[in-house]
Amino acid sequence: ELKVEQNPLFLSMQEGKNYTIYCNYSTTSDRLYWYRQDPGKSLESLFVLLSNGAVKQEGRLMASLDTKARLSTLHITAAVHDLSATYFCAVTKGGNYQLIWGAGTKLIIKP
Amino acid sequence: DTGVSQDPRHKITKRGQNVTFRCDPISEHNRLYWYRQTLGQGPEFLTYFQNEAQLEKSRLLSDRFSAERPKGSFSTLEIQRTEQGDSAMYLCASSLGGLVWGQETQYFGPGTRLLVL
């Protein structure tokens, strides 16, 4: 059974600092997604990662994928308050289109 | 295009009542998904349509739940004889299949928040 674990589940940090969120999954996966969710809002797609060593960057966020370790990271550089949200990773496998989700990392960035 | 829309945004009902939610996907998207999300958790997959065909159902989808997608456009999710444990955010997503493999992204609607009293 495909399972996804994120850590930390909660992170409070100061503006300007760097930090990394980790996403581990239990069995081979074809695709890994990162989504952002603001309180009371829906999910916004950030990245999709397909292959080992894939790296994608958008602004202060950079996501990477190590399929051998079954690990993805979401790195935040010089955090700003606007990045406060809950970040989810999700994976899917084969022809199965359902996404299996982590529990989310709630990120609070203090001015 | 305004994205995925869901209606209603909020629903309060009494235990034992039936409720129906609607999802309108992005117009050219052929795939549609329903998920359920409880507070502090990631979404849980419920069901998936490709065009009008319901191709996958989670074991979470008990016989009280039914989903349809007539004509491959909008979809409805009905919950019969609601229970307090059904209280959650119900999310709909859509995607365009048939692109370069693996590039498919699911786009989510704002959700319907259900409270069963």
Tens digit of pLDDT at every position of chain B (117 positions):
579 999 999 999 999 999 999 999 999 899 999 999 998 899 999 999 999 988 888 887 889 999 999 988 999 999 999 999 999 999 999 998 765 555 678 999 999 999 999
A-chain CB neighbours of B110 within 8 Å are 41-42
Contact assignment for B48 to A103 by CB distance below 8 Å: no
Q: Using an 8 Å Cβ cutoff, are A102 and A89 in contact?
A: yes
Q: Is the pLDDT of residue A51 over 90?
A: no
The rounded distance, in Å, linking the Cα atoms of B61 and B68 is 13
Of B68, B82, B76, give the one whose Cα is nearest residue B7. B76
Best probe of the B interface among A86, A99, A105, by most B CBs < 10 A, is A99
Across the A:B interface, residue pairs with CB atoms under 8 Å apart total 56
Each residue's pLDDT tens digit, A8-28: 999 999 999 999 999 999 988
CA distance A84 to A109: 5
Half-sphere exposure of B85 (CA within 13 A, CB side): 5
